Structure 1
Amino acid sequence: MASEYLKWKYRDVHPEQTVELTPRQRRANWWYYHKWHVLLGVGLLALGVYLGARVLGIGQVLPDYQVAYVASAALPEDTAAALENALAELGTDCNGDGQVVVRLNQYVTGGGSGEEAVYAYAGSTKLMADLNACDSYFFLLEDPEAFQEAYHILRRLDGSLPEETEQDYESCYLSWSECQALRALPLGEYTEEVLNQKIHGDSQERLASLFVARRGFWTERTCSYSEECDALWTVITEGSEQ
């Protein structure tokens, strides 16, 4: 009886008919359920391409020469840019990309306490990474004796390598003022903001108290384009007493 009653009750009810979707509706339906998978896959692919390009140097301007500036305070941006451009005029296109690029790596290692100490620690860490990777060949130093005593990485001015126990650090660097080619560089003036005040100065005067040196290598591992770097060292130290 119950089944007959149900048949009678639902006599006007018809099963739903399958709706045939258009191609556009099928694509919209697929995208609705899979869009996050697609976006995640595209993101991972883009990240892989970016990292691969970074490793291979694709799309990047790679430096022909690198200079490590190590001091208690950073150089003004104007001075740093002028120095890079002026040194590039003295160098050659080592990597064959059609341009000469000098990169000044600034490592601020001085500092007292608090925030200054944090920046000093970060600068020292980046400097160690530079030294381990043999990135910088040239060094622009505020305190070359302390630097050589700490890292023992500089070559003598005559090109030879000092012994680890040697204390004759003066044979490893030249003052900026001793290098006629450096003193003659057209570096112009700089402007920097200190305590909300703009300070103007001469870039040559800012660099006059620094010292220049070059990297020594005790193993077969060297900086990129070491022969070209040797040639540029000869140019910037020509006429100085070594």
Structure 2
Amino acid sequence: MSREHLLLHTGEDTIHDPKIEKKNLSPKDKRKNFWFYHKWHIVIVLVVLVFAALLSKDFFNRVNPDYEIGLLTKTSFPEDAVNQLQEALAEKAVDRNNDGQVIVRVNQYVIVPGSGEELTSDGQAASAPAEGSASASSSMEGQEASSQYVDANMQMASMVKFSVDTQDDQSIIFLVAEDSIDYFQNSYHLFAKSDYSSPDMESSDTGDIGIPWEELPYLDGLKLTVQSWDDNYNDIEVDVTDSFRELRVCIRDFEQLSHKDDQATIDYYNDSKELLESLKTK
């Protein structure tokens, strides 16, 4: 018998016909089959949905402060105390963006004046000069060695954020450590005199720059604390207000603002002046 006759009317191969396979599958097998062919599609869709949800949450929960205030110090201040200060300042501030809440954000910039010179080209801190050496006496003048050399990463991060702040006019008011005011004013010419006028650019005298914390009754009346524990591990409240009394409240020199011709910046500056003026009364 010829080969053609054997194959005649045999019909199509139905062993792997998807339609027949589908008809013969149980509900459980159908679910397994669906997962086998579509699992990566489902995983990708889920990842996209989770990512979109996170972005949406971040967008809708993003806090848009009415004011930002820079805190320029050599060491970081306790976060709890800074949060208390933010809340206290908000009591004197106004809802500038009309979102129904008044928020003042204090941005900490931990910068040791002159320590950038001790940073190597790869961003690592150079070793401190030996105590008593000529280089040590010149760089440590009036300061302790322990505070002069800070973590290189923290120093560089603070410098970058501080630079962005000043370039974008984010903070109009700054709280500056008394022993840092000379460096920042003479290096950057950032701040106005206590009467808001521009200082002499040729003068290195910073005595009339800003207002000492203790001369502002509202600030001087604050009590800023942190939670700690005693030798018996009992919770105690520690008053850290004295650290803040070493600050001077400064306002940016309007003429040195990057966007002084922008109306939004002008309004922000005037509102910041009003906030500073309000601190002169309890």
TM over 0.5: yes
**1:167 corresponding residue in structure 2:** 204
**2:38 corresponding residue in structure 1:** 31
C-alpha spacing 1:152/1:50, structure 2 compared with 1 (3 Å):
farther
**1:131 corresponding residue in structure 2:** 166
SS in 1 for 2:207: helix
**1:19 corresponding residue in structure 2:** 19
* Superposition map of 1:59-208 within 5 A: 59-110=61-112, 113=125, 116-142=151-177, 143-187=180-224, 189-191=225-227, 201-208=238-245
Amino acid at match of 1:104: V
Contact 2:95–2:102, Cα closer than 8 Å, also in 1: yes
Contact 2:223–2:239, Cα closer than 8 Å, also in 1: no
C-alpha spacing 1:148/1:223, structure 2 compared with 1 (3 Å):
farther
C-alpha spacing 1:13/1:158, structure 2 compared with 1 (3 Å):
same
SS in 1 for 2:161: helix
Once residues 228 and 206 of structure 1 are traced to their aligned partners in structure 2, the CA distance between those partners, rounded to angstroms, is: 27
Amino acid at match of 2:156: Y
Once residues 69 and 173 of structure 1 are traced to their aligned partners in structure 2, the CA distance between those partners, rounded to angstroms, is: 14
Contact 1:157–1:171, Cα closer than 8 Å, also in 2: yes
Q: CA deviation at 1:97?
A: 1.4
Amino acid at match of 2:70: A
Using the TM superposition, name which of 152-161 and 34-43 deviates more. Answer: 34-43
Q: CA deviation at 1:158?
A: 1.4
Contact 2:196–2:251, Cα closer than 8 Å, also in 1: no
Q: Residue 211 of structure 1 is aligned with which of 238, 244, 248?
A: 248
Contact 1:137–1:223, Cα closer than 8 Å, also in 2: no
Once residues 40 and 212 of structure 2 are traced to their aligned partners in structure 1, the CA distance between those partners, rounded to angstroms, is: 68
Once residues 154 and 87 of structure 1 are traced to their aligned partners in structure 2, the CA distance between those partners, rounded to angstroms, is: 20
Contact 1:145–1:170, Cα closer than 8 Å, also in 2: no
Deviations 1:55-108 (A, max 9, x none): xxx432211111111111111122101111111111111111111111010011
Q: CA deviation at 1:109?
A: 1.1
Once residues 18 and 199 of structure 1 are traced to their aligned partners in structure 2, the CA distance between those partners, rounded to angstroms, is: 73
Contact 1:137–1:215, Cα closer than 8 Å, also in 2: yes
Percentage of matched positions with identical amino acids: 27
Once residues 62 and 44 of structure 1 are traced to their aligned partners in structure 2, the CA distance between those partners, rounded to angstroms, is: 22
Gaps of 5+ in 1: none
Using the TM superposition, name which of 30-39 and 104-113 deviates more. Answer: 30-39
Number of residue-to-residue matches in the alignment: 227
RMSD in angstroms over aligned alpha carbons?
3.7
Once residues 80 and 248 of structure 2 are traced to their aligned partners in structure 1, the CA distance between those partners, rounded to angstroms, is: 19
Deviations 1:118-150 (A, max 9, x none): 211111111111111111111111111111112
Gaps of 5+ in 2: 119-124, 127-149
Once residues 41 and 61 of structure 1 are traced to their aligned partners in structure 2, the CA distance between those partners, rounded to angstroms, is: 25
Contact 2:193–2:208, Cα closer than 8 Å, also in 1: yes
C-alpha spacing 1:13/1:42, structure 2 compared with 1 (3 Å):
same
